[in-house]
Chains A and B, each alone.
Chain A
């Protein structure tokens, strides 16, 4: 865990939750978005690049799959196709909608 904190967290501006329930409650749903396989994921590249400099003998990271999570707040289920149209591009993204 200590390694993951060093790798992923900017302690000045971020907090980290591991296997925690959704951070924002209540919410109507959340959308998980990640890059399609085969497309360059710059976030992944930067993390792996940084990882190479801090890797220890105990922990080696072979690969990671960053996922962006967007929470939708409100009192009713929104017009998801319209929202998704502005948030994801099927050319490069995979996504899932998880309702609360």
Chain B
């Protein structure tokens, strides 16, 4: 039996300052209030806490695990907001879901949100961030970010099958000179290369297609890049509900446990600085996709054979977090002696909190242990019993025969509620203006083709991707949402993303625009507007700084308002704070960044619509004008009616670069030249607009469908030339060969990849 390595940590008599010092010296990332709460808790007992208990509490109370900011009481000007998550995300989503029958099958409870695909299958969807690790080691950080969210899907229900990945990145500007990047910060160019390679290596080797994503560049992300990784999964509806009952046992499956990734959960609550590369080494994990592939096959087979009652992934916080969540309602005992270790000499808390990758904890009935072990042998993975479920409401950890941790769930899972202050003045929304040129916009690295990144991903493995990230006649045109089929179902689903960054303007409008774009992304592929669900992923600076928190609150208000208007519920989400960098000049925060991901059901294969122009004798229509959300809802319903009537040949949402860029992107299929005439600003980026292509013969029918909508016939496609011609109130403002425009758009990112 191994010797437990732990120590008693008397807190009695310690001042707030000494408690804070202790937190810092142990990398607990707990503030004075938290430490005092721990001190008070143990005052009432007969013993001092152990270091294992302090580590478990710090992990459980971390921003990463308990979302302390989103659950805080926030003073926002004269308003007192009792929990941002509850007020702006959960409550509105609960109301929306109640009106949608059994469409939403699970939200904010499991490792992912669930929606119904059909009578038999459900879809689940989750997006995570892995920002701090990717800043320190881009390849490994992104690699394990994707590995982690894949395990979230494996840990959803009794084990869902991962079927599609998405990845969204924010980097500093790649053209920065080496000298302008601090010596201990990785250059954005290298960060991008490492991150993209990390995602590609993991997703490709796991055999999961990467079908959707976005990349954004801004100087404010030089020190703190953002890496969002998402995965969608499929699971039979009857396997969604989990069961954890006294008498069941906990089994740790997958990779061995080592010192890698220690303090990852608390690390994400800290500010990066010039020393981070030297001091945060323990927080970097490196993923092994082959190990996770074996684990995945093992889990899916175990679920199919009915061996799994519940399951959770070992992510941030390792066994402590995964088992702690499983046992949070019942209580139970973890026995660390049989954990498979990579190396000897690990302290007890290191075994418990290690974030070694590719591990899952399964809850099974004792009689299923032998069949489970037999399956593990087939799939060449390990599994060992590490605990049992009890009904005492206590998380107990035993190592070497000694109890090293005994914490009541009522204390462990109820950290002190933080009180925060925020301030934000809502400026007027400034409409984008200026004498922009189409060629300049197409060459902008925030608008140009993502092909150099996309081509590194396998987006077809598993053979279910119907609309790929690049499609159209030449297979190189941008699409909006990705569309997937599900074997065994006659329904399809679309995935979309909207990345919005607060670089000025009104954060309320940003929240609105994010939801609108996410909805449009899947709507234009043919998704039913009544069957769209959303995920929110916020990244921000220091939540204790009112100026960092203020825009977030206003953005949440916009997000919540738009979700209500579009009747699109949130089913999952994740926030990442403390994306700050401490330099000798001061602390720099990233701009508030919101990724809104959408998943929508497509009821019929005939509704699936691409974004590229298909005919050389069709009409080009514009839906939407100045943004009005209520009007947008009517527009979108009419659009779906037209989709169902078979009138839409292709459709593309208007986003960065406005109408001019959207027309150019649609025309890059090179099937036809385009001639359009509009009264709108061709570079305006206001939300709520879609361009679509129809057969000329369907014009009357389309106008009838859109009689209560903001529809205008913009122009037509033509076989006479291959140019993009745009007139504004009859005056020609663009007349360029498509081949030239496409070359500019296609080549702009290549020098940096």
Interface pair A85/B288, CB less than 8 Å apart = no
A39-83 to B contact mask, C-beta < 8 Å, 1/0:
110100110010000000000000000000000000000000010
Interface pair A91/B281, CB less than 8 Å apart = yes
Q: How far is the CA of A15 from the CA of B615 in the complex (A)?
A: 53
Cβ of B178 under 8 Å from chain A: yes
Cβ of B153 under 8 Å from chain A: no
Interface pair B260/A90, CB less than 8 Å apart = no
A13-50 to B contact mask, C-beta < 8 Å, 1/0:
00000000000000000000000101110100110010
Contact A39:B178 (CB < 8 A) given known A91-B137, A92-B140: no
B126-146 to A contact mask, C-beta < 8 Å, 1/0:
000000000011001000000
Interface pair A38/B178, CB less than 8 Å apart = no
Residues of chain B lying within 8 A (CB to CB) of residue A38: 258-260, 343
B259-290 to A contact mask, C-beta < 8 Å, 1/0:
11000000000000000011011001111101
Pick the contact of A85 from B137, B187, B258, B286 — CB < 8 Å? B187
Residues of chain A lying within 8 A (CB to CB) of residue B288: 40, 42, 45
Residues of chain A lying within 8 A (CB to CB) of residue B284: 39, 91-92
Chain B residue with Cβ nearest A79: B178
Interface pair A82/B178, CB less than 8 Å apart = yes
Cβ of B183 under 8 Å from chain A: yes
A84-100 to B contact mask, C-beta < 8 Å, 1/0:
01100111100000000
Residues of chain B lying within 8 A (CB to CB) of residue A91: 136-137, 277, 280-281, 284
Interface pair A39/B260, CB less than 8 Å apart = yes
Interface pair A42/B286, CB less than 8 Å apart = yes
Q: How far is the CA of A38 from the CA of B341 in the complex (A)?
A: 12
Task: For residue B502, give the distance in angstroms from its CB to the closest CB of chain A.
Answer: 30
Cβ of B190 under 8 Å from chain A: yes
B169-188 to A contact mask, C-beta < 8 Å, 1/0:
00000000010000100110
**Size bracket of the A interface:** 10 to 19
Interface pair A89/B286, CB less than 8 Å apart = no
B332-358 to A contact mask, C-beta < 8 Å, 1/0:
000000000001000000000000010
Interface pair B260/A85, CB less than 8 Å apart = no
Q: How far is the CA of A90 from the CA of B712 in the complex (A)?
A: 58
Chain B residue with Cβ nearest A89: B137
Interface class of chain B by DSSP? loop
Residues of chain B lying within 8 A (CB to CB) of residue A82: 178
Residues of chain B lying within 8 A (CB to CB) of residue A45: 288, 290
Q: How far is the CA of A46 from the CA of B187 in the complex (A)?
A: 30
Q: How far is the CA of A91 from the CA of B280 in the complex (A)?
A: 8
Q: How far is the CA of A68 from the CA of B137 in the complex (A)?
A: 18
Task: For residue B677, give the distance in angstroms from its CB to the closest CB of chain A.
Answer: 50
Chain A residue with Cβ nearest B280: A91
Residues of chain A lying within 8 A (CB to CB) of residue B258: 38
Chain A residue with Cβ nearest B194: A89
Chain B residue with Cβ nearest A86: B190
Chain B residue with Cβ nearest A49: B290
Residues of chain B lying within 8 A (CB to CB) of residue A92: 137, 140, 281, 284, 286
Q: How far is the CA of A45 from the CA of B186 in the complex (A)?
A: 27
Interface pair A85/B178, CB less than 8 Å apart = yes
Residues of chain A lying within 8 A (CB to CB) of residue B280: 91
Task: For residue A84, give the distance in angstroms from its CB to the closest CB of chain B.
Answer: 11
Interface pair A89/B186, CB less than 8 Å apart = yes
Q: How far is the CA of A36 from the CA of B136 in the complex (A)?
A: 15
Interface pair A40/B277, CB less than 8 Å apart = no
Residues of chain B lying within 8 A (CB to CB) of residue A36: 281
Residues of chain B lying within 8 A (CB to CB) of residue A40: 260, 285-288, 357
Residues of chain A lying within 8 A (CB to CB) of residue B137: 89, 91-92
Q: How far is the CA of A18 from the CA of B187 in the complex (A)?
A: 36
Chain A residue with Cβ nearest B136: A91
Task: For residue A43, give the distance in angstroms from its CB to the closest CB of chain B.
Answer: 11
Task: For residue A61, give the distance in angstroms from its CB to the closest CB of chain B.
Answer: 18
Residues of chain A lying within 8 A (CB to CB) of residue B260: 38-40
B233-263 to A contact mask, C-beta < 8 Å, 1/0:
0000000000000000000000000111000
Task: For residue A46, give the distance in angstroms from its CB to the closest CB of chain B.
Answer: 8
Q: How far is the CA of A40 from the CA of B137 in the complex (A)?
A: 13
B302-346 to A contact mask, C-beta < 8 Å, 1/0:
000000000000000000000000000000000000000001000
Interface pair B140/A85, CB less than 8 Å apart = no
Q: How far is the CA of A86 from the CA of B137 in the complex (A)?
A: 12
A-B contact pairs, 24 of them (CB 8 A): A38-B258, A38-B260, A40-B260, A40-B285, A40-B286, A40-B288, A42-B286, A42-B288, A45-B290, A49-B290, A85-B178, A85-B183, A85-B187, A86-B190, A89-B137, A89-B186, A89-B277, A90-B278, A91-B137, A91-B277, A91-B280, A91-B281, A91-B284, A92-B137
Which B residues are within 8 Å of any A CB, using their own CB? Answer: 136-137, 140, 178, 183, 186-187, 190, 258-260, 277-278, 280-281, 284-288, 290, 343, 357
Besides the contacts A39-B284, A85-B183, what 10 more A-B pairs have beta carbons closer than 8 Å? A38-B343, A40-B285, A40-B357, A42-B286, A45-B290, A82-B178, A89-B277, A90-B277, A91-B280, A92-B286
